[in-house]
Each structure stands twice: as structure tokens, then as C-alpha cells.
Amino acid sequence: MSPWFDRLKAGLSKTRNGLTGSLSSILRGGGLTGADLEALEEVLIAADVGAKVAIELVKGLSGALRRGDDDPIALLKELILERLAGSERPLSLRSDGSPSVVLVAGVNGTGKTTTIAKIASLLRAADPDLPITFAAADTFRAAAIEQLSIWAERVGGDLIGHRPGADPAAVVFDAVDHVIKRGGVLFIDTAGRLQTKHNLMEELKKIERTVQKKLGRPSDERLLVLDATTGQNGIAQAERFHAAIDLTGLVLTKLDSTAKGGVVLAIREALGLPILFVGVGEAAEDLDAFSARQFVEALFD
């Protein structure tokens, strides 16, 4: 088990008792009663899987179970894993020596800046000489540029930023210019925006267009940072951001809380996006590759 799973488990120990209690009572009885199925459905709903997906899963389970005395929970886990097949993928950077661009977007307060810092720290740990550039394209929120520049200093990288209130696309223009000369990886930190804000979503599209114009190709990664405590609105977030910038993947943050981030199952179903990383704490090293197996285990912890 990786360290993030241990930390996850440590974090979860407080709530685990209640859930295992209701589950083991299912196990003791042998066959599954209607009440058992409902209890399982509730475990999934409590993990923010959403009523629709939870009902489908439990229906699938009761259909599959008749074959004998399968362990219902193990079977349910397999059913969820099937839905997550192909969801694991590492960060995809250019290997041909040309610069890589990682665009990071999301609603307010999901942890975009921290996530960038964490991914950059991983890259830095793997290669002390890799040039890393940070584009402070959140020119709206007070002190967002300072927050990123503190991280840029800690990780060791260049910060490209303009004054507060500047056009984010102009920042990105300069940053891509910089990374073309310098090589390495560019992280674009965008302002938090609710997916219903038309103008802000247009601004985000403009940022990606700027990259394309300047670089002659799209960003290598266009990541949506999703807070694990988010409920069913996560689906709307993913759909709208995907429609705007054609996402390449998700990062699920704050999984060190008791939240399970179950909404990614519905997102996965709707959009088929891979999940690259999970955030499990505030420190720079609290980031791990997403593991479907561990995610599913945690749903039932």
C-alpha cells in the first residue's frame, strides 16, 4: 500500500466504524435482503457517488449475486472497478525536447495552485535540472500571484506574472514565449471560475487559444481540479469545463478528508476522463498517482 492510502485510512478511521457496522450486518445474513441492498446503496450515496449511479450499481449487484455465495461487497467493488477501467494515467509530457504546457482549471477553492505546486515538486524531485515555469494567469483573486510566486520559489522555477487585473491571456502569451526559449514545463495557474459564468469560461477558452496560437498545438494537459468534498455539482463542472477546453484529465483534491469523491464515477461515465492525481494533504509531497483499486477500497472504508 502506498503512503497516501495509509494516510487516507488514518484519516478515515473516525468514520469507518459506522459504515463497517452496517456492512458486516449484511455479510452475516448470507443472502441479501431489500434492506441490505438499500444499506449498500446508502454507503455509495454517502460517498457522493450519486443516487443514479448508486442505484444502477446495486441493481447490477443483485443481478450478479444469484450465482451463489459470492461476497457481495467484493463483487460490488469489482463492478465499480469495471467502471473505472482505464482511468489511471500518468502526466503526459513531451519527450521530444519541445516544451510541455499544463493548463490547470477549476471552480474556486478546489486547490489549483497547491496542485500545481505539488506536481511541479514531483517533477523537480525527479529532475533537479528541469526548467519549470509558472504562469500566474489568476490575475483576479487578491494575492493569487503572490501565492504562486511563493511556490515557484520553493520549487525552484520561473514565475511569469503581470499586474493584478491584467488580461490572463496576455500573461499566458508571455509565459509560452518564455518556455519556448527556455524549454521544460510550463504550468498555467488560472483563476477559479464557476462553470456557469459565461464570460469567465470564454476567458478560459481564450487562454487555451493563446497557447495554441503561440505553440502551434494545444496544451499537453488540460486538467480540471475537482474538490473531493464536491457533491453532484461535480458533474456539471466537468461537463462545462470539458466543453470549454476539451479536458485531458482530472485531479481529485482533498482526499485526506473523510470525503470520498464518489462523483468521479458519474463523471467517468459521462466523459470518460482519466484521473491523473489525488491530493491528500497540504504539504508539497501530498500528491499521488490515482489508483482505481485504492479509490474503490476507500469508498467502503
**Interacting residues with other proteins (CB under 8 A):** 11, 14-15, 42, 45-48, 50-52, 107-111, 140-144, 146-147, 150-151, 164, 194-199, 201, 227, 229-237, 239, 254, 256-259, 262-263, 282
- Provide Rg for the chain, Cα atoms: 21
Pick between residue 148 and residue 215 the one whose CB is nearest to other proteins. Answer: 148
Min CB(201)–other proteins separation in Å: 7
- Give the pairing of strands 287-289 and 275-279: antiparallel
Cell 487585473 belongs to which residue?
165
* Closest distance to other proteins from the beta carbon of 61 (Å): 18
Q: How far is CA 218 from CA 192, 207, 211, in A?
A: 21, 11, 7
- Number of other CB atoms surrounding residue 297 within 10 Å: 15
Contacts of 159 (CB under 8 A, 6+ apart): 133, 134, 136, 145, 148, 149, 152
Q: Which is nearer to other proteins, 20 or 147 (CB)?
A: 147
- φ, ψ for residue 62, nearest 5 deg: -65, -30
Half-sphere exposure of 232 toward its Cβ, with a 13 Å CA cutoff?
8
Shortest distance, position 100 Cβ to other proteins, whole Å: 24
- The SS3 assignment for 275 reads strand
Cβ proximity to other proteins: between 62 and 229 the closer is 229
Nearer to other proteins, 25 or 196 (CB): 196
DSSP string, 128-178: TT--EEEEEE--SSTTHHHHHHHHHHHHT-EEE---TTS-HHHHHHHHHHH
- Least Cβ distance, residue 222 to other proteins (angstroms): 20
Q: Shortest Cβ distance from residue 93 to other proteins (Å)?
A: 25
State which residue, 111 or 157, has the beta carbon closest to other proteins.
Answer: 111
How far apart are CB 181 and other proteins at their closest, in Å? 28
Q: Please say which residue, 55 or 73, places its beta carbon nearer to other proteins.
A: 55
**CA dihedral defined by 180, 182, 187, 193, rounded to 10 degrees?**
-50
